[in-house]
Amino acid sequence: MAFAQGAQSSSLSAVGTSRKKHVVIVGGGFGGLEAAKALRSSDADVVVIDRQNHHVFQPLLYQVATASLSPSDISVATRAPLRRQKNCGVVLDEVQGVDLERRRILVASGSVEYDYLVLAAGATHAYFGRDDWAKLAPGLKTLADATDIRRRLLLAFEAAEHEGDADARRAALTFVVVGAGPTGVELAGAIQEIASHTLPEEYRNIDTSTARVILVEGGERILAAFPPASSAQAQRDLEDLGVEVLLGQRVTDIQEDGVRLGDEFIGAYNVFWAAGVQASPLAKTLGVPTDRAGRVCVGPDLSIPGHPEVFVIGDMASVRSAGSDRPVPGVAQGAIQMGRYAGKVISEELIRGSSPARSRPFTYVDKGSMAIIGRNRAVAVVGSQQFSGFFAWLLWAVVHILFLVGFRNRFRVLVGWAFNWFVGSRDSRLIVGDRQLRVIEPQGPGFEANEEAPAEQT
């Protein structure tokens, strides 16, 4: 396996000089890492390629976005969990396409040959044809997204503190979350808790508890993938916190100063997007059928039509579990199980020449669904059992601690959560990047002496 234009990575160069079978895994998320681990005993050269050098625990991104955790608490260098796997290397590069006939993938610095390929590049935000909304309503898929949302969120309170215009102050303290899946629900609940419980004593000119948090959902209920009873409980919990839940509403326009729902315009300087996802653009380069979300329609063994050596897993794959009419959901446990399955199939074929696992269709085991609404508030569905309140919150916390990669991250998150639970503080309130305040009528310390200052202060 070697770059056509010369390898720039020592890891990949070493792999390229071998005569062993070459297994390339694209993506260092849950699915990619599990596939690599499943190949630890195989006599093959394995390489994981990712454009980022770190693995992120995406279910907790919203806690970085809302200042409960730091980025390093939920991330780990991709090399770390693979450091003892001698047959596996890691390459930092961006995959741009796949040449199925020549068994090569195209990367930013050349091309890479493979005998087996596992595509686990994940998904990105879907704006349903309105990509111009992306800058105005950021989504939450990466650490960069999380720190950007945190910056916008914290700057909103800073701007409101120095805003003399009542309408502008109201817009600065209005937060609209579009989409009421787990991410939207958790984000809305966390923002409301920050405004109502964390910040009120820290500002002098505003009452942060008057902030308006609006959760917009186009469907008939929030958490549509959960049983109706759990959805109803989650909505009651959100409304008890102070979140406004708007059902059956669709966003028709997003502007710098607000969002339009049908004919109604809501003034809001901050709109956060959690309404939909689409598969990585890499899926389109395969030239095989995809669903409406751009996910590759794979076979029962997770391979693509006509190419049993190419597997697509995680958020990139559209597949139904054996014996089920429902597609495998785009959640961490689905990606993990797909990664293990694909890795096992490849490992068996490398060792025996055939794989008993491939003859058995992929079967997804649903280990439950959970969503946290706020402190001591959550809903959880495990099998036929439904839980809510403190027990569901505790169950959610335990499960997420266990899923984190690395003892260090588990320890730090556990200590951080315990501290926040007892003190009610959110200490990761760092504003990184552009710190410009959107203020129309400046007031307060630092502004009176500068009457000719421009409307937007820094």
Count other C-beta atoms under 10 Å from residue 173's C-beta: 24
Count other C-beta atoms under 10 Å from residue 8's C-beta: 15
Extract the tokens encoding 286: 């395969």
Phi/psi-derived region of residue 58, left when phi > 0, alpha when psi is between -120 and 50, beta in every other case: alpha
Q: How far apart are CA 408 and CA 411, in angstroms?
A: 5
Q: What is the pTM of this model?
A: 0.87
pLDDT at 376: 87
Q: How far apart are CA 420 and CA 426, in angstroms?
A: 6
* Residue whose pair of structure tokens reads 């010369």 in the numeric block: 6
Are 428 and 76 in contact by the 8 Å Cβ rule? The answer is no
Catalytic (active-site) positions: 186
pLDDT at 408: 65
Query: Which residue pairs from 67-72 have beta carbons closer than 8 angstroms and sit at least 24 positions apart in sequence?
Result: 67/150, 67/153, 67/154, 67/194, 67/426, 67/427, 67/428, 67/429, 68/190, 68/416, 68/417, 68/420, 68/426, 68/428, 69/413, 69/416, 69/428, 70/428, 71/143, 71/146, 71/147, 72/412
Helix (H) or strand (E) holding 247: strand 244-247
pLDDT at 2: 39
Q: How far apart are CA 148 and CA 137, in angstroms?
A: 11
Q: How far apart are CA 319 and CA 175, in angstroms?
A: 36
Q: Which phi and psi angles does 173 have, rounded to 5°? A: -100, 20
List the chain pLDDT tens, one digit each, 458 residues. Answer: 333 333 334 344 444 444 689 999 999 999 999 999 999 999 899 999 999 999 998 989 999 999 888 898 889 999 999 999 999 999 999 999 999 999 999 998 889 999 999 999 999 999 988 999 999 999 999 999 999 999 999 999 999 999 999 999 999 999 999 999 999 999 999 999 999 988 988 999 999 999 999 999 999 999 999 999 999 999 999 999 999 999 999 999 999 999 999 989 999 999 999 998 899 999 999 999 999 999 999 999 999 999 999 999 999 999 999 888 888 998 899 999 999 999 999 999 998 888 888 889 999 998 889 999 988 899 999 988 999 999 998 888 888 887 776 656 776 777 676 666 656 566 667 788 788 888 888 887 666 544 444 445 44
pLDDT at 407: 57
| Torsion from C-alpha of 8, 11, 13, 16, nearest 10 degrees | -140
Handedness of CA 88, 315, 125, 74 (dihedral sign): negative
The SS3 call for residue 362 is coil
Extract the tokens encoding 125: 């935000």
Amino acid at 382: V
* Residue whose pair of structure tokens reads 């890795």 in the numeric block: 343
pLDDT at 404: 76
